[in-house]
Structure 1
Amino acid sequence: MTPLLRPLRSIANGFGLAWWARVETRRPDVTYWFGPYIRRSSLEAALRPFLADLRSEGAAEVNHSLIKTRRAEPLTIAAEG
């Protein structure tokens, strides 16, 4: 990552202009937020290995959507119950 990329991502996220992936899995029931990215294409490229890793760890179902938004912690949210 270039030294300027991290601050740019932070600024874009602060203004709600950053791309995020909302990834939901079943068994375990978890929502992951993956990002922020400046360009959608960069997010798509980085997301592929993350999704493959979740599947290899045995998640029963993995669904995702790409969203331009502002996001803060927590980035991993487990379902209660």
Structure 2
Amino acid sequence: MKEFLISLLNVFGLAWWVEIKTSTPRCIYYFGPFLSTQEAESAKAGYVEDIENEGAEGVSVSIQRCKPVTLTVADDLGKFGEGGLWPVLSGQ
């Protein structure tokens, strides 16, 4: 039941995602979807640790409601200028 609710929220861009940006390599990673900010918050440390273990530098993290088109957006993948997100209307 929980997976169905998360999927439904994600369809409408209302699910929560962990967005991690790195300066070297220049990438944006999306992890999720999550039902709540609390779930995303508790999972983010593991994602950051994995990315730092791969040698990434300049890591910044945010938790947001969004609908990623691509889960990894990077210069070398040729997609950095495309943004990687579907526009989501929000009352935030």
When normalised by structure 2's length, the TM-score is 0.74
Structure 1 stretches of 5 or more lacking a match? Answer: none
Deviations 1:5-64 (A, max 9, x none): 222111011122211121101211111111111111001111111101111211111101
Greater relative CO (CA pairs within 8 A, separation 6+): 1
Identical residues among aligned pairs (%): 35
- 1:76 corresponds in structure 2 to 72
> Is 2:29 the counterpart of 1:48?
no
> Is 2:3 the counterpart of 1:6?
yes
Higher strand share: 1
How many Å separate the matches in 1 of 2:69 and 2:23? 21
User: Aligned match of 2:63 in 56, 66, 69?
Assistant: 66
- 2:54 corresponds in structure 1 to 57
Report runs of 4+ in structure 1 exceeding 6 Å deviation. Answer: none
How many Å separate the matches in 2 of 1:60 and 1:72? 22
The one-letter code of the counterpart of 1:75 is: L
Q: CA RMSD in A?
A: 1.6
How many aligned residue pairs are there? 77
How many Å separate the matches in 2 of 1:44 and 1:79? 27
Structure 2 stretches of 5 or more lacking a match? Answer: 79-92
